Chains A and B, each alone.
Chain A
């Protein structure tokens, strides 16, 4: 079955620290992968996406993610977090032949001052 797992429901880091949010997917082919962020009382905003090519993709606000086909993973990273990064982060993928998104349950990031 196609699925996305975000193993950490909640992550707390100090401002200025580095960050990694984990994402594993289950799909036999190569998916189109996305990270979206949801700030309180807002919709989803696209951080970055991976379709093919360089497995490390750069996104907005200093975020990057690395695709690993062997590990079926697409982890999100940031070198130095800011308090404004506190939000819920969703790992999402689309299979190649359908437009429907498959969402993880999200990781809530809390950045402490």
Chain B
């Protein structure tokens, strides 16, 4: 069973609505990644954190997506204005270290934008 906890498992949003997903990383894992998996099994890196600090993020994340990992609270990924193309499985993963270390994934949050 995954020790990375993601909520909600499913969310359905209309176009233009906000969509927010949360992730509790495995205990002792300061590094958190967010990935988007589409229906064709293509994985897109969105953003990663070490503790509360953003390490890397892609342009898409910078514009419509926002994410944070506050101390003592779950990490979150929010889409400010959902688009049909955002329908996907959003996976959170955590790791002990940033470089070259195993990532452990949560069950994912499946977003459907109607």
A interface residues, Cβ below 8 angstroms from B: 32, 34, 36, 41-46, 49, 51, 88, 90, 94-101, 103, 105-106
B interface residues, Cβ below 8 angstroms from A: 2, 4, 6, 31, 33, 35, 40-43, 45, 48, 55-56, 91, 93, 95, 97-108, 110
Q: Are the C-beta atoms of B41 and A36 separated by less than 8 Å?
A: no
Residue of A nearest to B31 (CB): A99
Q: Are the C-beta atoms of A43 and B40 separated by less than 8 Å?
A: no
9 new A-B contacts, CB < 8 A, other than A43-B2, A43-B106, A101-B35, are: A32-B100, A43-B108, A45-B2, A90-B41, A96-B99, A99-B98, A99-B99, A101-B33, A101-B43
Q: Which of B45, B102, B104 contacts A100 (CB 8 A)?
A: B45
Given known contacts A44-B91, A99-B31, A99-B95, is B42 in contact with A105 (CB within 8 Å)?
A: yes
Q: Are the C-beta atoms of B103 and A101 separated by less than 8 Å?
A: yes
Q: Are the C-beta atoms of A105 and B40 separated by less than 8 Å?
A: yes
A20 vs B108: C-alpha distance in the bound complex, in angstroms? 27
